[in-house]
Amino acid sequence: MEETFYHILAKQRLTEKDKEKLSKVYARLLREQELLKDVFSSISLEEKRILDVGTGQGFACKFLVEHAKNSEIVTVDKDPLSLNRLKNIVGDDIDKITFLKADLSNMPFLKDNYFDIVLSHYTLSTVDKNIFHAVLNEIHRVLVADGLFVVIESFGTGIMDYARRLTLELEGIYHQVTGSEEELDLDNLLAIFRSFKGFDIIEVRKLNDGLIDLTIEDFGKYLLSLVSEEDLKRKIEKILERGRVHGFREAPDYAIYLRKIG
């Protein structure tokens, strides 16, 4: 199986060849930094206590260490390899971040009413529905009174061009192969927030209509590793060939701003 960026970033040390293979990831990183600048354009990040839930590749932490001056930055992820990915993205700034390995539904090591801001950067959509309420409980618990909870996710169809249709084809095959449920849509997520009653929804902002994502090709390569049926493999390979020409377009990005109540 060809290495995907997700596996390469998890290495303890990157070779020059590894860094060359990550060129699309670095391009995506730059785009995410611009998106996060937009999300926090009217919010001060200086001298704050900030919790990033779901470290992932460390894109959000990269933004925070560069823009949250004199702030305490903590990030939590249940995957221990996220620490390697984080180191490979933020470099020498790793000392400015506290990484904790834990499930987001159970973070007793974090103090009550401690963080000014909690950021979820494409994380809530990956949370199992059976623990979703517990995760919200923990986020609510660790936020200070009137603390800010910022959620960034992708929802909907957006620009329905050929690049978008190719992405939807890959996603359809993924759900077919894994039997996984479709991710939350915007209306369902907002309904969960309203029923939780621990947050006020301040604003919902649509950030774009869906951008070309160079890393979706790696998702297709990962999907190939899950498939044994030859016809389905050929179908994925054809989609990847077309994607190299036309690109892959993701769903529109949204920012949801919530404030803790109660």
| 25 domain residue, yes or no | yes
User: Over the stretch 162-198, which tens digit does the pLDDT of each residue have?
Assistant: 999 999 999 999 999 988 776 789 999 999 999 999 9
DSSP class per residue in 20-49:
HHTHHHHHHHHHHHHHHHHHTTTS--TT-E
Per the model's pLDDT, the better-predicted residue between 225 and 51 turns out to be 51
Integer Cα distance of 237 and 24 in angstroms: 19
Integer Cα distance of 196 and 181 in angstroms: 22
CB 76 within 8 A of CB 100: yes
Domain count of the fold of the chain = 1
Which residue range(s) make up the domain with 92? 5-158+181-210+251-260
Integer Cα distance of 50 and 102 in angstroms: 17
| 236 domain residue, yes or no | no
User: Over the stretch 98-131, which tens digit does the pLDDT of each residue have?
Assistant: 999 999 999 999 999 999 999 999 999 999 989 9
| 220 domain residue, yes or no | no
User: Over the stretch 12-34, which tens digit does the pLDDT of each residue have?
Assistant: 999 999 999 999 999 999 999 99
Q: Which structure tokens are listed for 45?
A: 């990040």
Q: 135 phi and psi, to 5 degrees?
A: -65, -45
What count of other Cβ atoms lies within 10 Å of the Cβ of residue 2?
10
Q: Which structure tokens are listed for 90?
A: 């933020």
Integer Cα distance of 244 and 219 in angstroms: 13
| 235 domain residue, yes or no | no
Q: Which of 2-6, 146-150, 220-224, 228-232 has the lowest mean pLDDT?
A: 2-6
Name the residue type at position 248: F
CB 120 within 8 A of CB 151: yes
DSSP code for 209? S
User: Over the stretch 128-144, which tens digit does the pLDDT of each residue have?
Assistant: 989 999 999 999 999 99
Say which CATH number the domain at 185 has. Answer: 3.40.50.150
Can you say how many angstroms the Cα of residue 140 is from the centroid of all Cα atoms in its chain? 20
| 36 domain residue, yes or no | yes
pLDDT at 181: 72
| 149 domain residue, yes or no | yes
| 222 domain residue, yes or no | no
User: Over the stretch 45-93, which tens digit does the pLDDT of each residue have?
Assistant: 999 999 999 999 999 999 999 999 999 999 999 999 999 999 999 999 9
pLDDT at 1: 54
Integer Cα distance of 158 and 32 in angstroms: 18
How many CA atoms within 13 Å lie on the side-chain side of 105? 10
What count of other Cβ atoms lies within 10 Å of the Cβ of residue 134?
15
Comparing CA positions, the residue from 50, 55, 65 lying closest to residue 148 is: 50
What count of other Cβ atoms lies within 10 Å of the Cβ of residue 70?
8
Can you say how many angstroms the Cα of residue 76 is from the centroid of all Cα atoms in its chain? 13
Q: What sections of the chain are H helices per DSSP?
A: 5-9, 16-21, 23-39, 59-67, 82-90, 132-142, 162-178, 186-196, 216-226, 230-246
| 37 domain residue, yes or no | yes
* Residue 96: pLDDT band with limits 50, 70, 90: very high
